[in-house]
Amino acid sequence: MVCAKEREKGVAGSKVDSKASKAEKEALCEARLRDLEERRASAPRALGAMVRSMLGKLRGLELADDMGLPKSLLQKQVLRIGTMCSGTDAPVLVARALEKELRACGSEVSFQHAFSVEFDAAKQEFLKANFPDCPLLFRDCTQMGRKRAFEVLSRQPQPVPGDLDILVAGFSCKDLSFMNSYRKTLQEMGQSGSTLRGVLDYAERYRPRLILLENVWAIAKSNSCGFRQVDLVMEGLKARGYAAGFRLLNSCDYFLPQIRHRIWMWAIRIDAAPDESALSEAARERAELATRQVESKYNDILVALEEPCALHFEDYMLDDDHPIVRAHFQWMKSLQRRSVLKKKRGAKLDWTEKYDSHRTRNDYQYDRPYTAVRDADFLQVLNERERELLDLKCLDVMNEQGKDPRTVPMLWELSQSVERVPGVRVRRDRQNYATCILPGMLWHSSRHRWVLGIEKLALQGIFAEDLRDTNFPQKLLGDLAGNAFTTSVCAANMIAIIACAGAMNGSP
């Protein structure tokens, strides 16, 4: 079986040799664009179809049995799944899709939603509306290592379930992201460190069989001393009796048109009973040995399940005359938004000074190619800062790429400052992909409108047809999308961890 990575190297040349000539690089780029265009019409567009394709890719690997899939994905069992800080409970959507597709393969695996954890009250309402079968919705991740924690549905403390097969958690990334000028380390115990502590406390007390964690790619970047924060997470998991590893993954390598680099961490419990000497050197050595035994298999599965996305982000956009789009425009127009001129805490310059400096440095004079359109409707939903930012980014793209973003569709994250707006320097063979979905304000350059929250969810693989209720403010849906797991990447990791756990222990 030829995996997606091999095909992309051979046919499309996604990774070009740095020593290749400019003409060779251009030819490889053109080949990749043709390959994407040829595959676009038949590319999976729904979560179920993506999972089905992954299961097809899994057949033939050494973990598979005579039926074509690993035994751990076929034998009769009920896997209880709990989530912490996942926002939209994307892992539960993945579990539903995986169960349905496995049933079609003759499997008797089923998933049971044991609990969710979400602190934000508005997001709690989203979870209650879309996952009414979930029996427990806890509020605070940091309490989950206790015997009891406050539960939202009953409005009182409830026993924390311990009989869990799969824990999927996304501890806070606010302190760790490179977008945060005041980021902290996990050891400094900011919000990121305290939520991670809640996950590790739960693992220590209740010992779920399998753990999946996700965070920003900065967690795996070394500091000046060579220390990586992801190593702290790995040590915490191994000290608690788990084989553990991690891998940097990109959403656009798994069916969806979004450039989103995230570190996915996995852990497989070694022993059912906790080791009294869990922090001993012998325990750590056993965890290291188990990790080495399973890590290569886990990574091989993730590579085999890859499918470089052939879709364009336009494929998940609503028509501009759609009632939801028009209603959102009228709502944004009614706000009569104004720019804030106050400097952020610790900032040397306010936005007007930064933007004036950008104009002067690039000799843009007073050019306003994007907003100098008399009586344009879209100007009514923009404040002064955003108008100036759009003009500057339009000039940047025209000068650096020779393209006109007023006619070539691009997605720009306008909640950032002028020097760091994501989406304006995407390489040519990836311009069909959206920039990383964030909780901020995403602008469509050629449609001259904001991207709706429901569209952001779709770019994360969270589709309206898989939800029960999307009748929430678009701002909330966009915030949920920005903090959600990409479902296709979550599916690849869930398949990999169940398969590898079965190979290591006989059953997950």
Q: In this model, does residue 415 exceed pLDDT 60?
A: yes
Region 11-20: mean pLDDT is: 50
Give residue 185's region: left, alpha or beta (phi > 0; psi -120 to 50): beta
47-311+486-505: in CATH 3.40.50.150: yes
CA angle 234, 240, 245 (to 5 degrees): 25
CA-angle at 170, arms to 165 and 174, nearest 5°: 165
Give the residue carrying structure tokens 């890719």.
Answer: 57
Q: Alpha-carbon distance 439 to 413, whole Å?
A: 9
Give which of 285, 203, 186 is closest to 240, Cα–Cα: 203
Look at residue 25 in the predicted model and tell me its pLDDT.
84
The rounded Cα 356 to chain-centroid distance in angstroms is: 34
**Rounded Cα–Cα distance for residues 127 and 426 (Å):** 34
How many residues can be counted in the chain? 508
Q: How confident is the model at residue 458 (pLDDT cuts 50, 70, 90)?
A: very high
Residue percentage of the chain with pLDDT more than 90: 69
Res 163 pLDDT > 70: yes
Amino acid at position 368, single letter = R
Extract the tokens encoding 449. 């409108």
Are 421 and 412 in contact by the 8 Å Cβ rule? The answer is: yes
Using 50, 70 and 90 to split pLDDT, how confident is the model at 65? low
pLDDT single digits (tens) 349-393:
789 999 999 999 999 989 999 999 988 999 999 999 999 999 999
373 contact partners, CB below 8 Å, separation of at least 6: 379
Determine the residue type at 331: W
Half-sphere exposure of 313 (CA within 13 A, CB side): 32
Q: Residue 448 carries which DSSP code? A: T
**Active-site entry in 29, 173, 309, 490:** 173
**Mean pLDDT of all residues in 191-196:** 70
The helix or strand, by DSSP H or E, that contains position 31, with its residue range, turns out to be helix 22-40
| Nearest partner of 253 among 486, 59, 11, judged by Cα | 486
Residue 481's Cβ-count burial label (10 Å; 0-12, 13-18, 19+) is buried
Buried residues in 275-311 as b, exposed as e (16+ CB within 10 A): beeeeeeebeebbeebbeebbebbebbbbbbbbbbbb
Q: Exposed/middle/buried for 340, CB within 10 Å: 0-12, 13-18, 19+?
A: exposed
Active site residue 173: yes
pLDDT over 70 at 42, yes or no: yes
Whose tokens are 């001129």? That residue is 341
**Coil, helix or strand at residue 225:** coil
Q: Is residue 346 very low, low, confident or very high in pLDDT (cuts 50, 70, 90)?
A: low
- DSSP string for residues in 286-352: HHHHHHHHHHHHHHHHHHHT-B-----GGGGPPPTTSHHHHHHHHHHHHH------SPPTT-SS-HH
pLDDT of residue 491: 98
pLDDT at 504: 76
Confidence band, pLDDT 50/70/90 cuts, at residue 428: confident
27-64: buried (b, 16+ CB within 10 Å) or exposed (e) per residue? ebbeebbebbeeeeeebbeebbebbbbbbebbeebebb
Instruction: Give the tens place of pLDDT for each residue, 66-104.
Output: 457 888 898 899 999 999 987 799 999 999 999 999 999
Contact 133, 80 (CB under 8 A): no
Q: Give the list of residues 6+ apart from residue 386 with CB closer than 8 angstroms, or none.
A: 339, 414, 441, 443
Average pLDDT, the chain: 88
Average pLDDT over residues 417-429: 86
Q: For the segment 176-187, what is each residue's pLDDT rounded down to a tens digit?
A: 444 444 344 445
Task: Quick: pLDDT tens for 431-443.
Answer: 899 999 999 999 9
Min mean pLDDT across 18-22, 46-50, 192-196 is at 18-22
pTM (2 d.p.)? 0.90
Class of residue 187 by CB neighbours under 10 A (exposed 0-12, middle 13-18, buried 19+)? exposed
Bridge partner list, 149: 158
Distance between CA 203 and CA 287 in Å, rounded? 15
Asked if residue 321 has pLDDT above 50, the reply is: yes
